[in-house]
Structure 1
Amino acid sequence: MTLYFAFLATLIISLASGQNFNYNQVNIRPGTYGSNPSENRIETFPWVVAVLDQRDWLFRYIGVGSLIKPNVVLTAAHILNETIADDLLVRAGEWDTSTTADQQHVDLEVLNIVSHEQFNRFNAENNMALLILVSAFEMTAKINIIPLYLGEANIREGSCFFNGWGKVYLNSTDYPTVLKTVQVDLVSIDMCSRRLRRNLPVQICGEGLEGKDCSGDGGAPLVCQILTYPSKYAQVGIVNWLSQVPGVNTPTVYTNVLVLLPWIHYQLRLGANFRPRS
């Protein structure tokens, strides 16, 4: 079934263009993320946002994104389909979608959608989009940004993971209401290309689902620990696609953030992306 989020009206705060952030502003306690959602807290993953389709006031969950500036979300282009900015809502600070009792989340509407001009639906290359928000989220313990991986240091082996509200099991119709965590082991692109029998020159591959699903996790940030910054994390990829074969541990493919970093920086400097639509 489709996952619908409970809705809570929120106060819209003033527009801000954001500022530059670095690795030092993210400090995850090692070992606090795992496969059991009850062991996690939203403070541990404050950059994870839900992307909602708010048409007809149904607030339907369509994917995940990451907060890379207080007013900018990074996600996958494929989850947006034919939606326009007015159709979308971004929810930050969410943990359990089945309740609004804690009133911890904040909703903001989308000012502009900036999808990569060379996104290819057939091979999933350049599967990236930015959601420019109508205003900026206030940074708190539960809502904060994730730095982007700059490639200046190695990634710690076994430290990568992504979060989302997507399905857990293949052929299931149920979506979890509590934010899940999936640990990912990166594999070489050559090995991945051989196993999937297709060329993947500018993407990232990882294992870890072991026959499970990631439908609904499109756009989720793949986050890893950076060796030169102990206990610091950065986003290295975006959940892109999975070849679903029950019982077979096929790799999951992620958009490579480092490769597309120049595109991100260019779009963030482009003033037209932050202007209200005429």
Structure 2
Amino acid sequence: MNKREYYKIISKYQLYILQETMNQFISLFVVFCAIGRLGADSPLTSEEQEHVKDNLEKIYNSWQRKRPTDKFHNNRDKIFEGLVTTSRTAPFNSDDSKPDQKWDFAGNRKEKRGCGFPKMGDSKSSWTVRIMNADHSSFYGSLIHPQVVLTAAHHISVWEKYKVRAGKWDDKISVLKTMVHPKFDQRNLANNVALLFLAKSFSLDDDINVICLPEQGGIPSPGTECFSSSLVLPIIEFYKCQDQLRTRSGTSLHNTFICAGGKRGVDTCRGDGGAPLACPIGSAHGQRYQLSGIVSWGIDCYQEVPAAYTNVALFRDWIDIQMKAQGLETSVYTAW
């Protein structure tokens, strides 16, 4: 139900309202202001939702005392149900939610963005966040939910306090809880994944969005061009990458990694740890991305040897379980 439909429903009762007290006029005025502020077809924001619901309840209670069988009474449940479903509300308790649909200065509606859609002209950084500890050293992560960051476990210390910045780095939110994968191995960085649960949510807007997660086992094909730290990096076949790493340093590649890169001068390096490797969903021209990898380790930098990235698709089920345990929705980062 959109605002135009609300307007039609409430308009039917204007004659009734004229017979009520000045308080009812004030209540109706608040409802009309909420309906008309952004346009007849626009969704209600969470704040408008509460204003409308409170004032409709006041009007309803007054009418119920005088005429409990009137049409407003019969439509009450429908109206209140519409209030819940019309406004976009985040799957967590937050005052920071914004409507998915926005309007530009010319009054044209912008379609809502789901997970994995970068802002116009963006180098796939809408979901990249900077994670800072008390001494101001930092690393990166990916926003997979307005209140959850996915990053590399080797950067996380249980006794550290972290803050997260997103967008233009102006908004900073404290980390409430960290969760490192129980099978993370500090020696070979196997299962190198961690979740950070924030004290409050980021507001998704033109600068900040969440990235989609692949389904369990949804590994990108070799040759797929992905993005990390503004670089275009092709996915390298696992055994080919393993041979290159062994030849160069004798290092074995654990099966919880994927590889990308291998072109001289084009590589992630020190300081990029935890950053996303974003790969296209479907067509490379579809402009929607999923988090296929997390920057983990490599041999030197900018050499003709691929770097290793945590294979996020192997941890989708684990991530879903942790999210549900915290009462958070998994649909936020689900593209299908």
1:213 Cα offset (Å): 5.4
Residue segments in structure 1 that go unaligned for 5+ positions in a row: 1-13, 34-39, 96-104, 164-180, 274-278
Report the CA distance shift for 1:222/1:138 in structure 2 as closer, same or farther (over 3 A). Answer: same
Question: Which whole-Å CA distance do the structure 2 matches of 1:231 and 1:271 have between them?
Answer: 31
More strand, by proportion: 1
Matched with 2:225 is: 159
1:121-164 residue CA offsets vs partner (Å, 9 max, x unmatched): 1111100000000011111111110011225696694530112x
Which aligned runs of 4 or more in structure 1 are off by greater than 6 angstroms? none
Which amino acid in structure 1 is aligned with residue 299 of structure 2?
A: S
CA contact (8 A) 1:203 1:256 kept: yes
1:210 Cα offset (Å): 2.1
Report 1:91-110 matches (<5 A): 91-94=165-168, 105-110=170-175
1:66 maps to 2:136: no
Question: Which whole-Å CA distance do the structure 1 matches of 2:188 and 2:196 have between them?
Answer: 22
Taking structure 1 as the reference length, the TM-score comes to 0.68
Matched with 2:297 is: 241
**Which moved further from structure 2: 259-268 or 199-208?**
199-208
1:214 maps to 2:263: no
Q: Provide the aligned C-alpha RMSD in A.
A: 3.2
1:231 maps to 2:287: yes
User: Which of 147, 152, 168 is equivalent to 2:212?
Assistant: 147
Question: Which whole-Å CA distance do the structure 2 matches of 1:46 and 1:264 have between them?
Answer: 21
1:269 Cα offset (Å): 1.2
1:19-54 residue CA offsets vs partner (Å, 9 max, x unmatched): 9xxx94433489x56xxxxxx5xxx5211100001x
Report 1:75-224 matches (<5 A): 75-81=151-157, 83-84=159-160, 87-94=161-168, 105-150=170-215, 157-163=223-229, 181-197=230-246, 198-208=252-262, 210-211=264-265, 214-224=269-279
Taking structure 2 as the reference length, the TM-score comes to 0.57
Residue segments in structure 2 that go unaligned for 5+ positions in a row: 1-89, 98-112, 247-251, 329-336
Question: Which whole-Å CA distance do the structure 2 matches of 1:267 and 1:232 have between them?
Answer: 25
Which amino acid in structure 2 is aligned with residue 260 of structure 1?
A: F
Larger radius of gyration: 2
- Larger relative CO (CA 8 A, sep 6+): 1 or 2? 1
Question: Which whole-Å CA distance do the structure 2 matches of 1:267 and 1:149 have between them?
Answer: 16
Question: Which whole-Å CA distance do the structure 2 matches of 1:203 and 1:147 have between them?
Answer: 19
Report the CA distance shift for 1:262/1:218 in structure 2 as closer, same or farther (over 3 A). Answer: same
More helix, by proportion: 2
SS at match of 1:191: helix
Which amino acid in structure 2 is aligned with residue 267 of structure 1?
A: Q
